Structure 1
Amino acid sequence: MQKKLAVLFVLVLLAFVGLSARLVVINKENGEKYKKQVLSQQEYDSKTIPFRRGDILDSKGTKLAVSEKVYNVILDAKIMLDDEKAVEPTIAAVQSELGIDGSVIRERLASHPESSYYVLKKQMTYEEISGFKALEVDKEQGTNIKGIWFEEEYKRKYPNNTLASDAIGFTTSDNQGLYGLEQYYNDVLSGTPGREYGYLNGDAALERTTIAAVDGNSIVTTIDANIQSIVEKYLKEFDDQYKNNHLERNGSNNTGCIIMDVNTGEILAMASYPVFDLNNTKNSEDLIGMPMVDELGNKTGEYITAENLAAMEGTEQLDQNFNALWRNFCINDTYEPGSVAKPFTVAAGIDSGSITGNETYTCNGFLEVGDYKIKCHNIYGDGPLTVAQGVERSCNVVMMYVNMATGKDTYIDYQHIFNFGLKTNIDLAGESRTASLVYDKNSLGPTELATNSFGQGFNVTMIQMIAGFCSLINGGNYYEPHMVSKIVSPSGATVQNIEPRILKQTVSESTSEIIKEDCNLVVSGENGTGKTARPAGYMIGGKTGTAETLPRGNNEYVVSFMGYAPANDPQIAIYVVVDRPNVTYQDDAKYATRIVRKILTEVLPYKGIFMTEELSDDERAELEALQIEITTPVAPETTDEDSQTADGAQGDASGGTSGAEDGTGKAQAQNGEEGNDYTEVWKTFPIDPQTGYAIDPETGELVDPETGHSVTGENSTPAGRTGANGTSGSGSSQDDGNPF
């Protein structure tokens, strides 16, 4: 038995030796061939299937962002070289049908013959590769084409290029959202990649298992592409008019506009200038004219020109300037709001019971608070004014008296109620924190209480201001502002409806009615500062704003207008901010009101809101030129106010500045309000023919001939006073709330 076992062991051992010898011979003679076959099967039969990122649509279904399938051309050198007869026919086909230089392929074959993956060309469309694919399936030519295959992926496309660029954002090369909606809704828009596996079954036959990709959901925004286009058209028109006007730079540091549904919080349009092309986000020409920032993102005080732009190429500083371009001014930059804060001051006083709104205060052009002599915009004084007249004329002194009556504790409470210092939580990436940019009860002294009353000394964002303002005019309902109304699946089914959300009640309905009446006077009143914002055929309400930036006395201002339409039944709110218009004298809210007028002239008819006011001949001609249908009968004769408003929209751009409030360049001397014998002396001043402003014969100071507001550097805020917690009081803010 032992001998038999020994013989069996020897036989088995010899069999293993023979098998091992055979494997060595096979590996030596054919190992490379088999290795190529295995690797090639892995390359072709185990691959990732990309998902399609969801679309971004406007409220009417217009596509704002889409994903288009594209193809990368891949060279497999090992497969091509495995059949040398296929090399030249394949190179010829690639060169003729795909436009790829054949020398590139030959060089790659020579330098990397073992390579199985090399990208010859990226992101070709199906139309561009269809000719080559036709040759592949051709019975005669297809057998001689090997080693070329196509890798599928998706490329993000923005059909409207610059439209809503700040709000939409864009994607990185790896399909991740950056800025705006693309970043905020990245998880919603993104899907899950699929996978295709190849393996050999028990019969050595190739089997495939495919796990399909799951495409991303799409989002339907509240943006109306038509309204957005109107807004962007007039922001660009403003820039075209004032670009390189006073300095070699854009028409302003930033010009922003938000249009919002008063009763839902939906954003109908959000835009700022300058814009950028979402399909070409790193076009350095878009930077020219912007304020320059350094490697840390801090403003340098210079502006970008073609010359200094060339010196920044390839540096960290260039990247920082692109980041500044991509930022959304409407939600990310902070500034002192100026007089658009006055309705909030009055609302806090009335709603808290601190004032009734029927009080009368006397403005002598300034008010002494503590150790400071705080001037009114009208340095000549407005005399006795009611609270409503204080809003109409934008009187700082009246507002200071109102805040004194309200008291700092109540005022700070209402600041929080109006959401100043807090995020609105709008569904966009990059909204700034402003908690450190407003005062609290411990840091607010008497002087700060006075200057805060007219919007100096604390910082806000545009979205904070318009969201709070909507609550003042809609009965007190504070809606969370939002950009998306619905999420839909790839099949078109609704996944989620995003309904309007009321967060709180800011003021009572009765207070809201009073604020509307006061703001209506700003546009319709004889002494209203916002008359030039009224579009032809409509009556609107609102509030103008001018805020002097730091350091005080630098003659640089942020001017604005925040309004609503129609005046009797607000449906939409509009807020336009012009950050340092490129003119000699910046302290003039008409740079904002005229933009508002032009935008609303087109938006209101589009929204189906009917005209209520008589038209002047000039207004009728204006509407006919714009091909806007007149939606109400108009009388052949117009009032003086109608004529002034129509002319005021044209203004006087001589010397880079605007004309008088009524746009005629002529002062109209008249007494104050009925029962007020206070003489408006500034209306008797001669007019400077170059600027259209009135000239004080005693001081030579330029003032607005309608309002008496100084435009040559008279400070409303005490010199040297800063914003809350020592902030700069005006300018841009990083996401953490720290100003540049």
Structure 2
Amino acid sequence: MTGNRRPGGGNNGNGWNGRRHKRGPRRFNHKMQAKLVVLFIAVLLAFAVLILRLFMINRNNGNEYKKQVLSQRSYDSREIPYKRGSITDRNGTVLATSELIYNVIVDAYQMNNGPQNEDGVSSYLNPTLDACERLGLDRSTIEQYIHDNPDSRYYIARKGLTYEEKTAYEKEISDAAERVSNIKKEIQAEKSGAADESKLENLNTQLQDAQKVNEEYQNIQGIWFEASYTRSYPNGTLLSHALGFSGTNNEGAFGLEEYYNDTLNGTPGREYGYLNDSSNLERTVIDAEDGDNLVSTVDTNVQSIVEKYLQEFMEEYKDGDYHQGYGARNVGCIIQDVNNGNILAMASYPTFDPNDPYNTDLLTGLPVLNKEDAPTYEYLTQEDVDAITKDNEQMSRYLYSLWNNFCISTYYEPGSTAKPFTMAAGLESGKLTGEETYYCGGSLTVDGWEINCHNTDGDGMLTINQAIERSCNVALMDMALATGEETFCKFQRIFNFGLKTNIDLAKEVRTDGLVYSADKMVDVDLATNSFGQNFDVTMIQMITGFSSLINGGYYYEPHMVSKITSASGATVANIEPRLLKRTVSESTSAKIREACLQVVAGENGTGKTARPAGYMIGGKTGTAETISDDPDKPRDRTNYVVSFMGYAPADDPQIAIYVVVDRVNHYPQDDAKYATRIVRKVLTEVLPYLGIYMTEELSEEEQKELEELNLSNTLAYGATNYDKIPNPIVCDIDTNGDGTPDAVDANGDGTPDTPLDTNGDSVTDAVDTNGDGKADLYDTDNDGVVDSESPKEGQVDLTQETGTGDQPWKSYAVDPETGYYVNPSNGNLIDPDTGYEYSASSLPENIGTGKASVKAGTAADSDNDSENDKPEEIEAAE
């Protein structure tokens, strides 16, 4: 065995001694180590970025990707509907809401695959078909469907099942099971005592019958209810044009429903059924997110008053001198808060019911534009309406005319309601001073055209205020010609004519092509534009511009919504008033108010019939000759749009009102009284409701009128009627069971408290909790919630025996010059005996100047505007 060893001892010929040399560990040099560290950090950063990216994707789009994954694994799925947000008025009255209804769903697969009876038919089939019949479904239709689609798991057999119908059906099933249980209890009780065999036999028979019925009910399989929503408008036609309506798939059409469609809509959820890795059916539910709610600036009480008198007008002149049908082509009314642009009411007729917007019954007598030949109007007869079908293209055109909001979507020539704007442009630009006089001889020739005044006999010499009072065309043409084309057109843009107001309603019409530019205007155009002819406006343009003329020159964007809330009631957004620009200075505004006051109060005023009982207002009438339907006689002196635009009260404007009557169905049409009478009726009810004190003595006729309207105890001469004052104190209890808080319970005793006005500003700021007529709790920070047992400065402590509970003015400071009390909110003087409040313009001569006249005179007595009193453009309104 030694022969296998290598010779030469431990070495071979190459010097190898048979041993392996042990090497030390191999090490990277410093350069390689640095590279590895950099690589390691780069990998870590890449992982960090990837993890961050996945987190962002999951946070922002997790639900979307989850739905995609689940849909790919889908065994069956269904969409969970969201509830479209509600719309309420400023007092919480529901204007539009979504009501819960149910779809009847048929599962053909389950119906066909129950235990088979002796005939080899599913035991679920006949009981379920019977149930379908009880739910109003056609049995043969369901039978045919499940025969043709035996594997279907989802078929909407009926839509719109009410909650009452659903619960009645479910009660049938529960009653059957309960009857079985009750009979069994009777049998058990009978057996526990001295059993009556005949009674037991009868009970057993009843039990068998009840079990048979219950078994039939238990075999109802393959039918279930899917929650859904339908849009409802509880007040019918009220505010219909401003609301619009919601059509299929929750798509808003017209009005607020369309403008705020994305806000009102929510996000649908989904329920998925899928097979997991073990082939077991599992379900995943992603809940729906309901839409947000809108709180409107509209007051339904004011809106109801407006619509009552518009409808009354349309009925009065229905089937009149010109055609069968409505009392006018259109009639509209807007009431706006002059100090912030809030719309309190907006209505136009003809109207419609958003619960049933496709109802053609209202089309008879409707004026619709015929565009097939010349653009003329035609009035639909009953035969026209009868010929309409849902597939007829004409129906859409006719219904569109019905849905159209006259207040924002129709333009017309304004007539003499444009005259205050002409006067304001001249005064504000310095082209007029307000001291001018004009001679009216009945007409004026401009560029060879003789243009008549409405009084063709002439008005003689007139001051600038008398020109507005008498509505003299000649004087207004002279004013405009003195102002010049450049300045006139500049101020038309400042007043927003030709521009959209951007009110938050869908389908406001553009009018940029309907007014002149300075380079296209010649003197005759300027002359006719001065009194509201040959340019077009919308109602919302006119009232918003007019509000700025009489509120000191502040142009607020008009708006219909004040707040957006979530489905849970949390505030999503407060929509604050938006001041866009300054149109005129305070001194110009005061002169416009003075001139417009004479239109109603002046001896020759054209708007005297607009004055409501107990109040003085200002305003301007309008009578515009409009384009005839006869293309051969475009101005035939028979077609007129008449209007009245006013503000109230005259000494402290709070609201503006604008009524337009488009071609009344009565001859003759050129009479502004059609509009002024509506204004008078509306304001006679609206002003007391808003808590505005009367400023004028009532005549016997007016007193009788108020008694007939149940308004005899209104806010006259400072006498407080707390029930008529708007209640800013937050209502917190529901007294009539309609689910809406309508009264205040500040001390939590369950009894409604009486709201009180402690400082004479016509707004409640305290409550009487025990019925003694004295304030017990006060709202000291004007947030509508009582928070103190003590009044703040300016509030009268009605808990003391001061005698001011019924005469709050007696707590005010006394003017030493007159002996009259001074209203701290507006500086007006109050008669200490009667409580009658005098503004600067209504002071009797024997009172003297007093603080009230000094306050009012600071703006009105200045003829020259200071540099700081000039209009300031705050933001362009396009």
CA gap of 1:111–1:201, structure 2 versus 1, over 3 A, is closer
| 2:507 matches 1:466 | no
Match of 1:107 in 2: 144
CA distance in 2, matches of 1:475, 1:424: 19
Tell me, in whole angstroms, the C-alpha distance in 2 between the residues paired with 1:402 and 1:300: 35
Please state how far the C-alpha of 1:108 moved relative to its aligned partner: 2.8
Q: 1:400 aligns with which of 454, 477, 483?
A: 477
Q: Following superposition of structure 1 onto structure 2, how do residues 598-609 of structure 1 map, counting pairs within 5 Å?
A: 598-609=681-692
State how 1:205-284 maps to structure 2 within 5 Å.
205-246=280-321, 247-284=323-360
Determine the structure 1 residue equivalent to 2:271: 196
- In 2, distance between residues paired with 1:306 and 1:375? 42
Which of 662, 675, 678 does residue 579 from structure 1 map onto? 662
**Partner deviation per Cα, 1:63-111 (whole Å, 9 max, x = no partner):** 0000112111122223212232111111112223x13232332233344
Which whole-Å CA distance do the structure 1 matches of 2:379 and 2:544 have between them? 32
In the alignment, does 2:104 pair up with 1:73? yes
Q: Does structure 2 retain, via aligned residues, the 8 Å contact 1:194–1:211?
A: yes
| Distance in 1 of aligned mates of 2:378 and 2:455 | 32
Contact residue 56 and residue 66 of structure 1 kept, 8 A:
yes
Structure 2 residue aligned with 1:89, among 127, 130, 134?
Answer: 127
The one-character-per-residue Cα deviations of 1:525-574 (angstroms, maximum 9, x if unpaired) are 00000000000000000000011112112410000000000001100000
Within the candidate set 159, 167, 171, 1:122 is matched to 159
Contact 1:366 1:381 in 2 (8 A): yes
Deviations 1:279-316 (A, max 9, x none): 00011111112112347798543201111222333421
Q: Classify 1:490/1:572 alpha carbon distance in 2 versus 1 (closer, same or farther; 3 Å).
A: same
Q: Is the 8 A contact 1:294 1:320 kept in 2?
A: no
In 1, the alpha carbon distance for the partners of 2:93 and 2:257 equals: 16
Deviation (angstroms), 1:334? 0.2
Deviations 1:215-258 (A, max 9, x none): 11001000001100110000000001000121212110000000
Paired amino acid for 1:557:
Y
Contact kept in structure 1, 2:691 and 2:715, CA below 8 Å: no
TM-score normalised over the length of structure 2:
0.66
CA distance in 2, matches of 1:114, 1:482: 54
Letter in 2 for 1:70: I
2:513 maps to which residue? 436
- Is residue 165 of structure 1 aligned with residue 240 of structure 2? yes
* 2:457 alignment partner, one of 347, 356, 380: 380
> Equivalent residue of 1:312, what SS?
coil
1:39-78 map, 5 Å? 46-78=77-109
For residues 141 and 374 of structure 2, the distance between their equivalents in structure 1, rounded to whole angstroms, comes to: 45
Equivalences for residues 125-524 of structure 1 within 5 A: 125-134=162-171, 140-246=215-321, 247-294=323-370, 300-313=376-389, 314-524=391-601
Q: Secondary structure at the match of 2:679?
A: helix
Q: Give distance in 2, aligned partners of 1:298 and 1:608.
A: 51
Shift of 1:472: 0.3
Mapped partners of 2:493, 2:622: distance in 1: 21
Separation in 2, partners of 1:525, 1:115: 79
Alignment partners' CA distance in 2, 1:293 and 1:103? 47
- How far apart in 1 are the matches of 2:534 and 2:626? 10
Question: Structure 1 residues 630, 196: CA separation in 2 closer, same or farther (over 3 Å shift)?
Answer: closer
User: Which of these residues, 695, 701, 708, is aligned with residue 618 of structure 1?
Assistant: 701
Paired positions, count: 594
Indicate if the aligned counterparts of 1:243 and 1:582 stay in contact, CA closer than 8 A. yes
1:637 is aligned to none
SS in 1 for 2:124: helix
AA in 1 matched with 2:354: L
Q: CA deviation at 1:330?
A: 0.3
1:10 matched residue in structure 2: none
> 2 CA distance for matches of 1:630 and 1:393?
32
- Alignment map for 1:517-556 (pairs within 5 Å): 517-550=594-627, 551-556=634-639
Partner residue, 1:659: none
* Contact 1:94-1:132 within 8 A present in 2 as well: no
**Letter paired with 1:183:** E
Indicate conservation of the 8 Å contact 2:370/2:378, yes or no. Answer: no
- State yes or no: 1:588 paired with 2:671: yes
| Contact 1:297/1:320 (<8 A) preserved | no
Q: Can you list the C-alpha shifts for 1:701-732, whole angstroms capped at 9, x where unaligned?
A: xxxxxxxxxxxxxxxxxxxxxxxxxxxxxxxx
Cα displacement (A) at 1:631: 2.5
Structure 1 segments unaligned to the other structure (5+ residues): 1-38, 635-736
Assess if the C-alpha contact under 8 Å between 1:475 and 1:512 holds in 2. yes
Q: Contact conserved, 2:370 with 2:377, CA < 8 A, in 1?
A: no
SS at match of 1:257: strand
Output the CA distance in 2 between the equivalents of 1:195 and 1:135. Answer: 30
| Separation of aligned partners in 1, 2:226 and 2:638 | 58
Give the match's secondary structure for 1:46.
Answer: strand
- Alignment deviations for residues 143-176 of structure 1 (CA, whole Å, 9 cap, x no partner): 3112212222211111001010000011111111
Deviation at 1:585, TM superposition (A): 0.6
Other structure's SS at 1:605 match: helix
Distance 2:372 2:577 in 1: 39
Structure number with higher relative contact order (C-alpha < 8 Å, ≥ 6 residues apart): 1
Instruction: Note the C-alpha offset of 1:206.
Output: 3.0
State the match for 2:200 in structure 1: none
2-side partners of 1:301 and 1:471: how far apart?
35
- Asked if the contact 2:439–2:461 (Cα under 8 Å) also holds between the matched residues in 1, the reply is yes
* Distance (Å, rounded) in 1 between the aligned partners of 2:347 and 2:302: 11
For the residues of structure 1 that align with 2:489 and 2:656, how far apart are their CA atoms? 25
Structure 1 residues 601, 299: closer, same or farther in 2, change over 3 A?
farther
Taking only aligned residues, the RMSD between alpha carbons, in angstroms, comes to 1.9
Distance in structure 2 (CA, Å) of the matches to 1:296 and 1:147:
54
| SS of corresponding position for 1:537 | coil
Deviations 1:593-638 (A, max 9, x none): 000000001000000001111111111000000001232259xxxx
Give the deviation of 1:416 after TM superposition: 0.5
How far apart, CA to CA, are the structure 1 residues paired with 2:290 and 2:222?
Answer: 30
Aligned to 1:35: none
Amino acid at match of 1:78: Y
Change (3 A) 1:296 1:57: farther
**1:360-396, Cα deviation, whole Å (9 max, x unpaired):** 1100110000110000011111011111000000000
Q: CA–CA distance in 1 between the matches of 2:358 and 2:438?
A: 55
Supply the distance in 1 between the matched residues of 2:312 and 2:380 (Cα, whole angstroms).
21
Q: Secondary structure at the match of 1:78?
A: helix
Structure 2 portions without partners, runs of 5+: 1-70, 115-121, 178-213, 628-633, 719-877
- What is the rounded CA distance, in whole Å, between the counterparts of 2:371 and 2:518 in structure 1? 37
Secondary structure of the residue aligned to 2:660 is: strand
Instruction: Return closer, same or farther for 1:47/1:626 CA change in 2, 3 Å cut-off.
Output: same
* Partner Cα distance (1:108, 1:297) in 2: 50
- The aligned runs of 1:642-657 (5 Å cut-off) are none
8 Å CA contact 2:693, 2:717 repeated in 1: no
Percentage of pairs with the same residue: 59
